[in-house]
Structure 1
């Protein structure tokens, strides 16, 4: 479809839009990693904020796409690092070999108080 923006593949099987992430953005995450290729019946985004310790941890069900991937959109609400990994309903994890995925959240031109 002309005019439709494609989500950027940031690493093999992980797509994000937008990149970089700015505070308040709705970020679309698409996952086509090994849980998807192994035929998971459900995939969840496991996400949180922070550097060492994750805060506001959430598990969000993802929706299956026609191409066999999984997608979800999330509003980024904290000005720190946005961290995430994936799991399926059988508790199999794709966590980037224990490193997870982490993106610094930018605050644009606004001043935090």
Structure 2
């Protein structure tokens, strides 16, 4: 079942579909629970979003987690490191304000206090940021 909160490229979708027949599931694919949840989606410039993480670093017992995020399609700009709060055993969360001028892509990954990274198998997590009316934060 496809996760509705994850956007994928057409190329990745084709690759996944071809491999799915062999029962090989890609780590971080939109059809597998990878422990990353973004709300609300779609993201609109000006939104405050919540990013929750219960992925492999949290499951491995990380005590502290940092969200590394930036904006752009290929090269990241406006890179920030944001401390995440532990919200339950093996889960972290933070809230991020998306600037009105950022009508591109939100890119992010995670690093724990031991320097271990979760970058979605080198793909990072990537969400299109839409321009338009600000969504109501729930």
TM-score (norm 2): 0.70
Residues 65-107 of structure 1, C-alpha deviations (whole Å, 9 max, x = no match):
1242000000011111000000001110000000001111001
Runs of at least 5 residues in structure 2 that lack an aligned partner in the other structure: 7-32
Larger Rg: 2
Structure 1 counterpart of 2:67 = 45
Q: Which has the higher strand share?
A: 1
The residue that corresponds to 2:105 in the other structure is 81
Shift of the alpha carbon at 1:12?
Answer: 2.0
**1:17 maps to what in 2?**
39
Provide the secondary structure at the position in 1 that maps to 2:90. Answer: coil
1:109: Cα distance to partner?
5.3
Structure whose residues are more often helix by fraction: 2
CA separation in 2, counterparts of 1:17 and 1:52? 23
| Match status 1:102 vs 2:122 | no
Distance 1:41 1:59 in 2: 16
Query: How many positions carry a matched residue from both structures?
Result: 103
Please report the RMSD computed on the Cα atoms of aligned residues, expressed in angstroms: 1.7
Structure 1 consecutive aligned stretches of length 4 or more whose deviation exceeds 4 Å:
8-11
